[in-house]
Structure 1
Amino acid sequence: MKSLYIKYEKIIKYLIFGVLTTAVNIGIYFLLVNLFKINYLIGNTVAWIASVIFAYITNKIYVFKSRTISFWESLRECSSFIACRIFSGAIDMLTMYIMIELVSVQSILAKFISNVIVILLNYILSKLIIFK
């Protein structure tokens, strides 16, 4: 069993922190949109920023155990993380817009569906580009 965990450690940790990142994202989104009555696109943007910060820290330290030493390595890593998250954030916004405005899916359900797509995309980008 332990060797199975070691084999899939990054994926398991990514899923755990992905769920936590999703909780941060959806929690902030829910509060802003439902409690404070902020427009869903603005709420989604604020939730996205908070979850990107949370995800970078947890992915760097716990999932991919990045040990960048130099300033330039760290800058490259952080910049590529943010660039990839901007890309996946645009996918998130587009998915939310399509599901809510064009398909009439309930806002919170659209948020859950969008997050599943974004988690998968972010893992692929993190593994292949950012923390390689």
Structure 2
Amino acid sequence: MVERYLKSEKIKYLFWGVITTLVYFVVRFVTMALLHQAMLPVLIAQIVTVLFAFVVNKFFVFAANQSRHVLAQLLRFIAGRLFVAGIDFLLTYIMIERYSDVFIRLLRLNKINFQTFPFGLSWSWLHGWIHDSVSLNAVIAVILIQIIAVVVNYFISKFMIFD
């Protein structure tokens, strides 16, 4: 029974979704650090992860390997991911670019002392990524957006692409 559960489509989707999300986070956070802005890294991360996600969803999750449908599936997959990318851009704009101060106050991130543990340790990997309330808000927003994206992408993939 456990073996059947581990081979279920939802578990495979969750596993590959986590891997895809890790790819997304690495690409997005690295490009955010290199480019020092919020919007272009969304585009770069979306392109990389859409291609990665199509391959793993088609061949490992939904086992939809009928080669004659690859182009149609790819186009539908891209359309679905463009929809989710639109949600990503919209929420990034709202939560990071335009109204970050609202979310910072709402989540009380401005009350955190970033000079104390774990943020204040110069050797800590957190120090490079999260050094003030603005950067913490960005990380929280990206994580929340990705949770929404995984759920929406599953339903799009399951019912509109690899049906």
Provide the aligned C-alpha RMSD in A: 1.6
1:110 matched residue in structure 2 = 141
1:2 paired with 2:2, answer yes
2:28 matched residue in structure 1 = 29
Instruction: For residue 131 of structure 1, report the CA deviation from its aligned partner.
Output: 0.0
Instruction: For residue 37 of structure 1, report the CA deviation from its aligned partner.
Output: 3.0
1:120 paired with 2:151, answer yes
Counterparts of 1:39 and 1:45, CA distance in 2 = 12
Contact 2:38 2:92 in 1 (8 A): no
Instruction: For residue 115 of structure 1, report the CA deviation from its aligned partner.
Output: 0.3
Query: For each residue in 1:27-50, what CA deviation from the matched residue of structure 2 results, as whole angstroms up to 9, or x when unmatched?
Result: 11111112x134210011101111
Any runs of at least 4 consecutive aligned residues in structure 1 with deviations exceeding 6 A, and if so which? none
Q: Percent identity?
A: 33
Counterparts of 1:116 and 1:103, CA distance in 2 = 19
How has the CA–CA distance of structure 1 residues 74 and 28 changed in structure 2, closer, same or farther, with 3 Å as cutoff? Answer: same
Identify the structure with the greater helix proportion.
1
Provide structure 2 residue ranges, at least 5 long, that are not aligned to the other structure.
104-136
TM-score if structure 1 supplies the norm length?
A: 0.90
Provide structure 1 residue ranges, at least 5 long, that are not aligned to the other structure.
none
Which protein shows a greater Rg? 2
Q: Which region of structure 1 is more displaced relative to structure 2, 91-100 or 110-119?
A: 91-100
Query: For each residue in 1:41-93, what CA deviation from the matched residue of structure 2 results, as whole angstroms up to 9, or x when unmatched?
Result: 001110111111110010001000012232xx221111000000000110111
